[in-house]
Structure 1
Amino acid sequence: MVQFIPHIVAIPYPAQGHVLPLMELSLWLIKELGCKITFVNSEFNHKRVIKSLSENDDVQDKISLISIPDGLEPHEDRTDLKKLTESINEVMPGKLMEVINMINSNDSQISCVIADENMGWALEVAAKLNIRSAAFWPAAAATLASLFSVSKLIDDGIIDKDGAILKAQGIKLSPNMPIMNPSDFSWATFPDPAMRKMIMDLVADNNERAKFADWIICNSAKELEPGAFAMFPQVSPIGPLLSSNRLGSSAGHFWPEDSNCLKWLDQQPHNSVIYVAFGSFTILDLTQFQELALGLESSKRRFLWVVREDLILDGDDSAYPKGFKDRVGSRGHIVKWAPQQKVLAHPSIACFLSHCGWNSTVESVSNGVPFLCWPYFADQLFNQSYICDVWKVGLGFNKNEFGVIGKEEIQNKMDKLFGDETFKERALDLQAKVNSSVKEGGNSNKMFGKFIDWIKTQRGSI
């Protein structure tokens, strides 16, 4: 009897924080299911991923990495999210349909499409081709709950139909959920009204298209967000999905990882290093960048700092305060991109100065590392409220009258975090709860098992 091998098409939203967790899910499915996966990046991001693979990376032996155009020219600005989203919606659905039809014509029927929930059009493509699908949500379930609640928020007069805030006081989406500040809603963090309206229209479309999906799976755990999962029981927690738990390495990075920083960490005392990283999108102006540098210097603490090539607005190596690198010497180590999960698992790491993206949040929580929170945009502001107000495993910074987080404030919050052992104690307690969820018999582990069992039953077009 010929063994049936499921063939899955996975398509992420074209941003680093979305590609990484869907790639991780894909690698987990291969480990647990032995399935075939075709991973569909945009052409622009596909080239970055391939270029950043190390010689030892075997992801291409496991996953078929392919690409389709996003409709923009190579030189066009993909940080212009309005322009990118409009182009994606116009070009990518037809291209994805072509890819699936091509695969199906080669005697390898697609069993299932797993699409980032932000790419709801891909769920619609699957439905048109009579293929089962799952929507993957790579962020907090509470953020998805806020998107699913948009119509009610409009009806209750909290926001208008274009996403503008009408009532600024904190609200609860349900009695068991934490208080959410309307200004922290992901769409509300964009100051441009046209951008906000486009996001609201996209949210409405994606809420409808999510109904095409047989599953909505989320890279979170019930132990982290009991209220959100109770409010929307159709959202299934299967995370946090970490490469360390499958004894592998993460894949799908847009920049090459500098693993030499792990050797530097090996030389540092336990629980002594501040890890500073802002993800793939954050941009700091020169003043803010220099205040951060001076704050790290004046803290007299060891630090590992990830400074992407495009982190500083119109900046280069001369952006550092004069003499900064000489003064900090070997106490600080600066890289362009780091193997973050391995860094956060290192015993020398004491805390994470983070932009609070969800991947960074669950990676730090899974390693029992407390936070210093520096959110930039979108869901990161709400994630900070989870970290500081609900889980109480971190501290946020306050900006001065010029809208800058000053070096004194940075040093002050570092001293406060290092001086209060209860932050570490709570972080370790949360780590134990979350890690038990992904182990055999845990909530996320059992839900992931049910999802795998469902995939086993999918045999192409219905």
Structure 2
Amino acid sequence: MSQNHTNKKSHAIIIPYPLQGHVIPSVHLATKLASIGFTITFINTNFIHHEITKANPTNQTDIFAEARDSGLDIRYATVSDGFPVGFDRSLNHDQFMEGVLHVLSAHVDELVGNLVNSSEPKVSIIISDTFFVWNSMIAKKYKLINVSFWTEPALVLNIYYHLDLLRSHGHFGSKENRKDTIDYIPGVETMQPKDLMSYLQPTIQDTSTVVHRIIFKAFEDIKHADYILINTVQELEKNTILTLNKNQPIFAIGPLFPIGPIDNKVATSMWVESDCTKWLDDKDIGCVLYISFGSYAHTSKDILQAIAHGLLASQVHFIWVIRPDIVSSADLDPLPDGFKEKIVGRGLVVTWCDQVKVLSHQAVGGFLTHCGWNSILESIWWSIPLLCFPLLTDQFTNRKLVVDDLKIGINLCDDEVVSEAEVAKNILRLMKGSMGEELRGGIRRVKNVLESAWEKDGSSQRNFDEFVRSVQL
């Protein structure tokens, strides 16, 4: 595609939410726009920058240095989120989120003002994560095109967008939320309350938490966006996107993840990565189960121990990513006593790894996942069927897409209690049974949809081109 539709070069500020799962697609959006001639100023928080450069010490000052050497005009800035870098955001989640809600915007406002007044080419667009509550305020103040970037499925956006319907029908925000089928949200055929995002689940009584306040404000603010970009593929969520498009211009431009050479030049990992390639090279094709619960969500020691015992009982080979803070920053070893000794040769436990490198290895045949959207898209891309164990927020709704709609995965447990026997049974169903073969066939078909989306006349390429034309007029 041509660099610009006008003689004037477009300059966009991109601001991801300060969590790794949001930073990753924002980085890939930045490189995609820069590769067609945009100037990009990418803004991370000081903390996110500190964690990335600590884990990837090559580029200490600028994570885009290598991408810029490739000819992309991506500038880099950092801003305070209101807390010292050493503050434990994981252990003090609510306090951190209060800062994101009330304090971060003042620092962003000051930085954006400086960029608007001093940058060449002149800044004309701000692309900020939908979960920020101040996007329209800053865009209006500096007369910028206001683009909301949604990093999760369109289904999740649509449910939040119609939160008032859930309230009025008594499925959310009531003293006793209804537990029957939800069949009135435009663009969604039917869904069960257990498939709502965790903050909207029937068990939620207190809707005054900091996360609820962020959700309520953010989804009022999004209605003022000039454009909404979504990291999904139109064909995967056609009816939902058509519904949303009736309200505002929506562009599905997924999948956005590292599949190109430039993408891989930008560090986004906040943990030091173990290289699992040698270990995988010694394993048979498709025999390894990869397990990761993502970069943010927490779970309990009891659940991890039940999964560990189920893994032992299943006898399958596995790589298990266990973040140091997955239970709590204060509990760094949540696995059963003697577990690591029992799995020598059969299992590998690491604190973090390059997920794309693992999923793309021929030895990997299944993915036990928390159902983060980045993980789902990457798993589809490499045709790896999913074993679903959602922990938080959109992951429950993403699970519905994977298991019920796309039919490319199964549940780890059907009951609320995680049992060793059920874990072992479902691991074997995925890795060794006819169900696994069926899922592999299904996921290959969905992968074709993802691949086609970015071909010359694919839906994501067309949507991306139309978005570019719209903001450059």
Q: What TM-score, normalized by structure 2, do the two folds share?
A: 0.87
The equivalent of 1:13 in structure 2 is 17
Query: Given the alignment, which residue of 416, 419, 444 partners 2:433?
Result: 419
Query: Given the alignment, which residue of 158, 168, 184 partners 2:179?
Result: 168
The equivalent of 1:352 in structure 2 is 367
Taking the TM superposition and a 5 Å limit, the aligned residue runs for 1:202-213 are 202-213=214-225
**Cα deviation, residue 71, structure 1:** 2.1
2:469 alignment partner AA: D
The equivalent of 1:217 in structure 2 is 229
**Cα deviation, residue 132, structure 1:** 0.9
Aligned residues, how many? 449
The equivalent of 2:272 in structure 1 is 256
Q: What TM-score, normalized by structure 1, do the two folds share?
A: 0.89
C-alpha change, 1:165 and 1:201, in structure 2 (3 Å) is farther
The equivalent of 2:132 in structure 1 is 119
2:80 alignment partner AA: P
The equivalent of 2:452 in structure 1 is 436
The equivalent of 2:319 in structure 1 is 304
Q: Is the 8 A contact 2:178 2:202 kept in 1?
A: no
Q: Is the 8 A contact 1:115 1:123 kept in 2?
A: no
Query: Given the alignment, which residue of 59, 67, 70 partners 2:78?
Result: 67
**Cα deviation, residue 322, structure 1:** 3.3
Q: 90-99 vs 14-23, which deviates more?
A: 90-99
The answer to whether residue 420 in structure 2 is matched with residue 407 in structure 1 is: yes
CA distance in 2, matches of 1:41, 1:146: 28
Between the aligned residues of both structures, percent identity stands at 28
Bigger helix fraction: 1
CA distance in 2, matches of 1:285, 1:88: 26
**Cα deviation, residue 25, structure 1:** 0.9
Q: Is the 8 A contact 1:100 1:110 kept in 2?
A: no
**Cα deviation, residue 221, structure 1:** 0.7
CA distance in 1, matches of 2:148, 2:359: 28
Question: SS of 1:274's equivalent?
Answer: strand
Q: What runs of 5+ residues in structure 1 fail to find an aligned partner?
A: 458-462
Taking the TM superposition and a 5 Å limit, the aligned residue runs for 1:196-345 are 198-233=210-245, 234-245=249-260, 248-249=263-264, 251-258=267-274, 260-313=275-328, 314-317=330-333, 319-345=334-360
Q: 235-244 vs 136-145, which deviates more?
A: 235-244
Question: SS of 2:13's equivalent?
Answer: strand
Q: Is the 8 A contact 1:41 1:67 kept in 2?
A: yes
Q: Is the 8 A contact 1:219 1:237 kept in 2?
A: yes
**Cα deviation, residue 383, structure 1:** 0.8
**Cα deviation, residue 64, structure 1:** 2.9
CA distance in 2, matches of 1:311, 1:283: 5
CA distance in 1, matches of 2:375, 2:96: 24
Q: Is the 8 A contact 1:373 1:396 kept in 2?
A: yes
Q: Is the 8 A contact 2:172 2:202 kept in 1?
A: no
Question: SS of 1:115's equivalent?
Answer: strand
Deviation by residue 1:219-251 (Cα, 9 ceiling, x = unmatched) = 001121122112111322000112114564263
The equivalent of 1:446 in structure 2 is 462
Deviation by residue 1:397-440 (Cα, 9 ceiling, x = unmatched) = 2266xx54222111100122230211111111111122211222
Q: Is the 8 A contact 2:162 2:185 kept in 1?
A: no
**Cα deviation, residue 316, structure 1:** 3.1
C-alpha change, 1:264 and 1:323, in structure 2 (3 Å) is same
**Cα deviation, residue 133, structure 1:** 2.0
**Cα deviation, residue 182, structure 1:** 2.5
Taking the TM superposition and a 5 Å limit, the aligned residue runs for 1:147-166 are 147-160=160-173, 166=177
1:88 alignment partner AA: V
CA distance in 2, matches of 1:200, 1:315: 27
Question: SS of 2:425's equivalent?
Answer: helix
2:27 alignment partner AA: M
CA distance in 1, matches of 2:113, 2:419: 55
**Cα deviation, residue 272, structure 1:** 1.3
Q: Is the 8 A contact 2:147 2:226 kept in 1?
A: yes
Query: Given the alignment, which residue of 44, 47, 55 partners 2:47?
Result: 44
CA distance in 1, matches of 2:189, 2:54: 42
**Cα deviation, residue 447, structure 1:** 0.4
CA distance in 1, matches of 2:83, 2:57: 28
Q: 48-57 vs 133-142, which deviates more?
A: 48-57
CA distance in 2, matches of 1:425, 1:107: 50
**Cα deviation, residue 141, structure 1:** 0.5
Q: 406-415 vs 196-205, which deviates more?
A: 196-205
Q: Is the 8 A contact 2:290 2:367 kept in 1?
A: yes
CA distance in 1, matches of 2:203, 2:324: 25
C-alpha change, 1:384 and 1:87, in structure 2 (3 Å) is same
**Cα deviation, residue 333, structure 1:** 1.8
CA distance in 2, matches of 1:125, 1:104: 11
Q: Is the 8 A contact 2:97 2:211 kept in 1?
A: no
C-alpha change, 1:413 and 1:196, in structure 2 (3 Å) is farther
Question: SS of 1:13's equivalent?
Answer: coil
The equivalent of 1:460 in structure 2 is none
Question: SS of 1:8's equivalent?
Answer: strand
